[in-house]
Amino acid sequence: MKNINTIHDLAMFGAPPAFQNKLHVGRPNIGNRKNLNERLNNILDKKWLTNQGEYVQQLEKRIASYIGVKHCICICNGTIALEISIRALNLTGEVIIPSFTFIATAHALQWQGIKPVFCDIHKGGCNIDPALVEFCITPETSGIIGVHVWGAPCDYERLTAVANKHQIKLMFDAAHAFGCSYHNRKIGNHGHLEVFSFHATKVFNSFEGGAIVTNDDTLANKIRLMKNFGFSGHDNVVYIGSNGKMSEISAAMGLTNLESLDTFIQQNQIRYYHYKKLFEHIPGFKMMSLHEKQKSNFHYVTFEIDEKETGLNRDQIVNILHAENIIARRYFYPGCHRMEPYRTLYPNAGRLLPQTEHICKQVLVMPTGPSISKNDIDMIYKIVTFVVKHQHEIKLKMKNQ
């Protein structure tokens, strides 16, 4: 599209004024500063900065009990947590994943010489389609990694059935899903293990961080060794391992933010339903729906844009919103299979991913979280309503430029 990309463009049609400051997706949630500072001082006083310190141990216990899972192993970030998990499950050859995910899901496999096989997602949702997973299985397939996109649970039952039938491993990239539940059980209890990210942009952060959760004792032990170079006590290496340790400073942030997690989720929820109430009336802005048995962390306010109704496509709308300082985001665009090295390695992957290709062009994620006020959302609504209402004039102007 041509350049409707200055604040003055919409004003020219008589639009409400643009925001003075940028509204971002994924501003960090930060808990009680005093508690954090106390913990930081303790770390410095004790001079214990990392290596399974007191705060990492506390955080692991609290997360395990929060999720209702036997083992939680904190890791330095979600990507290394994925890599260690893949290794601990002995995945080799080919592993089936969605292409509609953050690139780390694919990279964690490729990095270890394992081929990610991209499987399409469900119609009417954004998660891997268990019926299609079956078609991706070959004699080389060793596992499936489901991703709970937007925190919406994968179809656990059917994925488990497929994995059992073919005797392959099943794990989940739950990076979006901390604090989410399904059938009143917290996400983190399915497959052989599940992986969280505690990156700054996630609902719960430890600056950088992540965790692997599992109910399998043997697997948990192995992961504990692997994240610490394979050390089993001083001077005794029993396994090939890496350095996946979480530092005490991250654990201090994690403990602090865990104390506020319910508040973050409540605040997200208020904003989510405010968006829903307003945007229900905007044609072509379909909010991604929640599963009835799901309890969300409401961290992602996600729309599917139907160009036939908005008159403008998703990218045009994103550009217009950016010009108004609403930094809405496309997500997982253009899909992992269209990024390197996968684009070159598997140039035809897209042919089997019609739903992924479709959704990649439609998804728009709006700013939310404690740093966005209900007033902000009212203003976003006004601007979007304006854009849809004036779509013809705006398009004409764009053509003439």
- Of the pair 274, 329, the CB lying nearest ligand PLP is at 329
Cβ-closest position to ligand PLP = 78
Q: Does 83 bind ligand PLP (CB under 6 A)?
A: no
Please check whether residue 59 is in contact with residue 255, taking contact to mean a CB–CB distance below 8 angstroms.
Answer: yes
Distance between CA atoms of residues 93 and 156, nearest Å: 23
Binding to ligand PLP (CB under 6 A): which residues in 200-239?
A: 210
Structure tokens at 258: 């865990």
Structure tokens at 349: 């992957």
Please check whether residue 251 is in contact with residue 198, taking contact to mean a CB–CB distance below 8 angstroms.
Answer: no
Q: Of 44-52, 118-126, 173-181, 356-364, which part binds ligand PLP (CB under 6 A)?
A: 173-181
User: E strands of 71-187, at which residues?
Assistant: 71-75, 94-98, 115-119, 141-147, 169-173, 181-182, 185-186
Backbone φ/ψ region at 182: left (φ over 0), alpha (ψ -120 to 50), beta: beta
- Of the pair 199, 224, the CB lying nearest ligand PLP is at 199
Measured between alpha carbons, how far is residue 265 from residues 125, 274, 339, 369 in Å? 22, 14, 33, 8
Q: Does 147 bind ligand PLP (CB under 6 A)?
A: yes
Residue in 71, 115, 122, 176 binding ligand PLP, rule: CB under 6 A: 176
Please check whether residue 358 is in contact with residue 307, taking contact to mean a CB–CB distance below 8 angstroms.
Answer: no
Q: Does 199 bind ligand PLP (CB under 6 A)?
A: yes
Structure tokens at 128: 């891997």
Q: Does 101 bind ligand PLP (CB under 6 A)?
A: yes
- Nearest-approach distance from CB 211 to ligand PLP, in angstroms: 10
Q: Does 302 bind ligand PLP (CB under 6 A)?
A: no
Q: Does 125 bind ligand PLP (CB under 6 A)?
A: no
- Of the pair 39, 176, the CB lying nearest ligand PLP is at 176
- Nearest-approach distance from CB 217 to ligand PLP, in angstroms: 25
Q: Which residues bind ligand PLP (CB under 6 A)?
A: 77-79, 101-102, 104-105, 147, 173, 175-176, 197, 199, 210
